[in-house]
Structure 1
Amino acid sequence: MKIDQIVSFVSRLIYYIEEKNTSFDKAFIYTRNDLKVKRPLRLYYVIGRDVVSKYFFLRDIAREFFGRASRKNIVRTWIVLYGENYAELREATLRLKKKLSKRGKVVSPEALLEELSCGEKLSVKYSVPLWIVEKLSKYMSFQELEQLFSSMAEETVWLRVNTLKISVREAMDYLTRKHVEVELDEDYEFMLRVKESRAPVYALKYVREGKLVIQDKGSVAIVDALTLERNDYILDLCAAPGLKTSLIFQLLENQCRVLACDISWDRIKIMKKLLRLHGVDLSKVDVIKADSREVFVRKGCGVTKVLVDAPCSSSGVMSKDPAIRIQLSLPNIVEKYSNLQRSLLEAALSLPEVHSIVYSTCSILPEEGEKVVDYFVSKGYKCLTRTIGSSGYRGFLCSTKVKRLFPHIHGTCGFFVAGLAD
């Protein structure tokens, strides 16, 4: 395989992430279609994902190797450092390294890291924007930050046993037959942590049939915070794609109602299909397409609990989509989301007869967690969160009353959860 083919493909992929703000998978599809590549797609996917996951690390070294960190030079840098691990690239990689050696451009990455400050070193080593490292260093030591970012480099896969369709015992027996090693969770008896699997978990028949659901444990903790009771009528303000709505019905054995709101018809269609697959009684799901900031629920309709799983920077789920690392390069993206999150909570708190609201984000940043909740606590709203997790970041009014989940502590993605009431 020619190096130019890899460089052309992956640099185009990075273009879509940087300029079009797409997820990694969407960028991959767009690039594949643009360049009309049919094979070897698996190799392109693996290399592309690794390049994007190491983006900041490769960018800094590319400046040393090639003088500037263009997209193509970032990919060439990856080839110099890792290309020999792939039989298809080994010969071409050796030629490129020889060429750089003659120019005296080969630099040890370890030597480069040694020249950096603690914060810069973490940013480059784990490909996390420096501003995030500097912000979180106010709440964590550099040692704990390294544990956090190291954990975020590896994705932990969780499976929810959909007890509307299958028992935990049946699920365990099936996974054993399929050579998938799992362990039972200590907090939620229907949750399984995947330790090893011969094949991709998403390809399992029971996953395709909705008997097993790929869902992070942190997402389950958010629903747990609703303190569900039979016959609850819950408003899910940002419902699609429907995993949390599905879990609500599972936990209450379809003995509840949910008013599911989303702004996108396409996402609503996906949600309906997923809920049907998961065995949810669709006659008990009321769906509305609307901007959740403008939803009005009439008095006497029975809604007493609201779930606000708000759009956010997704800084807590970098392990699931490496493109998020690049999209977080500019901190102003967080301000946009925090304003939206506050608006959603204001709308939820203004609804009549609602006595319990759960607010959550998949973010590790205080601007999308403690700072949003503190705004409402300062106005007299009560905050109490009943679910698993650690306390919030120190120094806020709500610090001891909210929950955070971290990959290096809880084995989940990074989540923030808060319960609010008037």
Structure 2
Amino acid sequence: MDKLDYTELSGMNLYQGVRGHAVKILNRVDRTDAYLDKLLEIELKNSNLSGVDKALLFEIVHGVMRWMGRLDWILTGFYKGQFSKSVSDVKNALRVALYQILFLDKIPDYAAVNEAVEFIKKLQGQKYADIANAVLRNIIRNKDSIRYPDPEEDLIGYLSAYYSHPAWMVKRWFKRFGKEETEKLLIANNSKPVLSLRVNNLVTSLDELKSLLDSVELKYTISKYLPEFIRLNKLTNITDWEYFQKGFFSVQDESSGLPVKLLDVKPGMRVLDLCAAPGGKTAFIADIMNNQGEIIAIDRYESRLKILEKNLTRLKVTNVKTLAINALDFNDNEGFDRVLVDAPCSGLGTLTKKPDLKWKKDLGDIRKIINIQYELLKKGSSMLKVGGSLVYSTCTIEPEENFEIIKRFLAENPNFTLVDASEIFPKELLDENGCVQTYPHIHGIDGSFAAKIIRLV
């Protein structure tokens, strides 16, 4: 029984140990629309791996996804035949082994090779095991002389292979930012993510949370732009801590707090969160409102709303009403003081945390989503009271999804005006139009956009 269908292996007996679990997850990322974080979460929950092994599994699958472009460039050069068409088990076992060889100092090269070879032999037989052995040992022998595309002849090809991003993405950014800034952005996207916590003032205070972190010797720094956020100095499984369960904080990137601050909510207001799940921004709005007033939080999927409701319960939020409905079908006669349209987007500002997005998105995804974004903005604006304000936000750095949406809306709706965010935020966070625009390589947080408009009449 040399080859086995993947579905026959779901008993997990063959996908054992950290590398086995890693290959299993990477196979699923390849073959389905599922996102890495969701697959990893399920695997960690259902496995009996130790804490150290779980951390290594996280490191390996994120690392392979982050560096897949470079790994595949190298493997394609050394593989006899077409690496891209090889069996998933072989392809991902080689990626895992090569990631360990190139990026993880604690694992000796020979150990990475032996594990991969034994694993492939078990799943695909001796023939494939011999191929893997030859490929990996050849790479190790030539590790210091691996060639990438010549930047003088093919700069996009070089940046794409060396910094592990799809060529279409590199080409776009190169056109917009030039070589130096593009290279910095690619480097930032490949950095290990920063873990940020938002202090939940409904339950605790910044000072109390700081002293609790001190008591368990977790090192942190106060975030640069928003005092409600704390950056942990290293990744940790903070959600296992009792104070997470007690609602003292959320795990949230600082960029996600910027649109909430820009929205400028007050206790007692009526607020609409049009695309609310999983609820990080909803909870921050409730915190600033001190649970006073009303927030209507909408999402079309019941399952996502259940996650949101669970988060709100944990964070002791009491002024939110949830509604499972397509946002475009929502109607309300009273009107809202504030509307947040945190639009679905390509997510290309979050590649540090979600490296698999690089390989799952293409230009077509951006073209498809801009119509939805525009319709959501129109819908949200129709819900505003006169004098009320709306914030449109995304977690992407692509202009078509950001200011171009706002520009088109303002041209078609003269009863709205754009608010310059410089009254709230430092100039370094803003673009030339006075909208929030952050970049991983400049601000050290996720790439994001937020624009505020006011209804005049």
Instruction: Give yes or no for contact 1:12–1:31 (8 Å, CA) kept in 2.
Output: no
Instruction: Give yes or no for contact 1:226–1:357 (8 Å, CA) kept in 2.
Output: yes
* Corresponding residue of 1:177: 215
Equivalences for 1:122-161 in 2 at 5 Å? 122-153=159-190, 154-161=192-199
Amino acid of the residue matched to residue 317 of structure 1? T
TM-score (structure 2 length as normaliser): 0.80
| Residues 353 and 221 of structure 1, relative CA distance in 2, 3 Å threshold | same
Amino acid of the residue matched to residue 325 of structure 2? A
* Corresponding residue of 1:415: 448
Distance 1:32 1:353 in 2: 46
Task: Tell me the secondary structure at the aligned position of residue 314 of structure 1.
Answer: coil
| Residues 87 and 106 of structure 1, relative CA distance in 2, 3 Å threshold | closer
* Residue 350 in structure 1 maps to residue 382 in structure 2: yes
Distance 2:139 2:148 in 1: 19
Offset at residue 305 of structure 1 (A): 1.4
Instruction: Give yes or no for contact 2:275–2:342 (8 Å, CA) kept in 1.
Output: yes
Equivalences for 1:3-402 in 2 at 5 Å? 10-28=22-40, 42=54, 43-66=56-79, 67-70=81-84, 71=88, 72-73=90-91, 75-80=93-98, 82-83=100-101, 85=105, 87=107, 90-91=110-111, 93=113, 99-100=134-135, 108=143, 111-113=146-148, 115-116=150-151, 117-153=154-190, 154-196=192-234, 199-281=236-318, 284-298=319-333, 301-328=334-361, 330-351=362-383, 353=385, 355-379=388-412, 380=414, 381-386=416-421, 387-388=424-425, 390-392=429-431, 399-402=432-435
Instruction: Give yes or no for contact 1:405–1:413 (8 Å, CA) kept in 2.
Output: yes
Amino acid of the residue matched to residue 91 of structure 2? N
Distance 1:31 1:211 in 2: 27
TM-score (structure 1 length as normaliser): 0.86
Per-residue CA deviations over 1:137-157 (Å, capped at 9, x if unaligned) read 232122122222222222111
| Residues 109 and 382 of structure 1, relative CA distance in 2, 3 Å threshold | farther
Offset at residue 90 of structure 1 (A): 3.1
Task: Tell me the secondary structure at the aligned position of residue 142 of structure 1.
Answer: helix
Give the % identical residues. 24
Distance 2:99 2:285 in 1: 47
| Residues 251 and 156 of structure 1, relative CA distance in 2, 3 Å threshold | same
Offset at residue 352 of structure 1 (A): 5.3
Distance 1:126 1:204 in 2: 35
| Residues 195 and 5 of structure 1, relative CA distance in 2, 3 Å threshold | closer
Task: Tell me the secondary structure at the aligned position of residue 147 of structure 2.
Answer: helix
Offset at residue 47 of structure 1 (A): 2.2
Offset at residue 129 of structure 1 (A): 1.7
Q: What's the RMSD between the two structures over aligned residues? A: 3.1
Instruction: Give yes or no for contact 1:240–1:271 (8 Å, CA) kept in 2.
Output: yes
Unaligned runs of 5+ in 1: 393-398
Offset at residue 226 of structure 1 (A): 0.4
Distance 2:303 2:136 in 1: 52
Paired residues, number? 407
| Residues 22 and 364 of structure 1, relative CA distance in 2, 3 Å threshold | same
Distance 1:89 1:39 in 2: 23
| Residues 110 and 237 of structure 1, relative CA distance in 2, 3 Å threshold | farther
Offset at residue 362 of structure 1 (A): 0.6
Task: Tell me the secondary structure at the aligned position of residue 213 of structure 1.
Answer: strand
Offset at residue 99 of structure 1 (A): 2.8
Instruction: Give yes or no for contact 2:149–2:161 (8 Å, CA) kept in 1.
Output: no
Amino acid of the residue matched to residue 64 of structure 1? G
| Residues 288 and 337 of structure 1, relative CA distance in 2, 3 Å threshold | same
Greater length-normalized contact order (CA 8 Å, ≥ 6 residues apart): 1
Per-residue CA deviations over 1:92-122 (Å, capped at 9, x if unaligned) read 5278897348879965576423524333222
Distance 1:279 1:3 in 2: 40
Amino acid of the residue matched to residue 162 of structure 1? N
| Residues 81 and 46 of structure 1, relative CA distance in 2, 3 Å threshold | closer
